[in-house]
Amino acid sequence: MSIILEEISEALKKGKAKTVKEKVQQAIDEGIPPKTILDDAMLKSMGEIGVKFKANEIFVPEVLVAARALNAGLAILEPLLAAQGIEPIGTAVIGTVRGDLHDIGKNLVAMMLRGAGLEVIDAGVDVSTDKFLELAEQNNAQIICMSSLLTTTMEATGEIIKEMEDRGVRNKYKIMIGGAPVTAEFAKKVNADYYTPDAATAAEVAKEIVSSH
């Protein structure tokens, strides 16, 4: 790997957003293709962050600063990638379900999904069935991701899926759910397609879903 790509990779892992931004611009000026910068430096190191996070070698603050650095670099790369017609590998809508305002975990999942190459539409917190469906429809999403942190709002996940079934649109999307109180057993009970325990696994599974879609 060229030195500049290694520098971007290292700066991203350390969460140095300003350095990532400067080095990404420098790499572009040196003629390195945006897709190479994205894949070989940024997504690669974000993937490594995900592995370490999953293994409890690093924690939420480190992931958040790395993700912020990723976003700083992406802001420069995105218009160039779009101009070259490089498409994201798929689209996911993500939100914290109605009644629930916790968003730290949801934001982490969103960042990891972006790190895996997906376009992520963030619906925010306290998200209704209408909002999930409206954004999924508008953006041709393949996946709807629902986060819940309270035992009470966890039930809203099941209600939202039921409402999607009642409207006859449930099977248009793969539904992934997660959050501290959620379990695989619960996901099965409420007819979600996937439960993932953490942001890194969510990104791995989302990648598999869109590649087999």
Residues that bind ligand B1M (CB under 6 A): 60, 99-106, 108-109, 145-147, 149-151, 176-181, 196, 198-199, 202
Nearest Cα residue to 60 out of 52, 70, 48:
52
Count of Cβ atoms closer than 10 Å to residue 198 Cβ: 16
Residue 94 beta carbon to ligand B1M: minimum distance, rounded to whole angstroms = 6
Nearer to ligand B1M, 9 or 147 (CB): 147
Give CA–CA dist 25/70, Å, rounded: 13
Q: How far is the CB of 14 from ligand B1M (least distance, A)?
A: 20
Distance of CA 105 to the CA centre of its chain: 11
Distance of CA 205 to the CA centre of its chain: 11
Compare residues 19 and 153 and give the one whose CB is closer to ligand B1M. Answer: 153
Query: Least Å distance between CB 71 and ligand B1M?
Result: 17
Nearer to ligand B1M, 38 or 123 (CB): 123
Give least dist CB 43 to ligand B1M, A: 18
Shortest approach of ligand B1M to residue 101 CB, angstroms?
4
Closest CB 113 distance from ligand B1M, rounded Å: 9
Q: In the structure, how many helices (H) and strands (E) does the chain have? A: 10, 5
Q: Which CB atom, from 38 or from 209, has the smaller least distance to ligand B1M?
A: 209
Q: Which is nearer to ligand B1M, 31 or 61 (CB)?
A: 61
User: What is the spatial order of strands in the sheet that 194-195 belongs to?
Assistant: 119-127, 91-97, 143-147, 174-178, 194-195
**How far apart, in Å, are the Cα atoms of 68 and each of 2, 128, 185, 201?**
23, 27, 33, 20
DSSP codes, 133-156: HHHHHHTT-SEEEEE--SHHHHHH
Instruction: Closer to ligand B1M by CB, 33 or 99: give it.
Output: 99
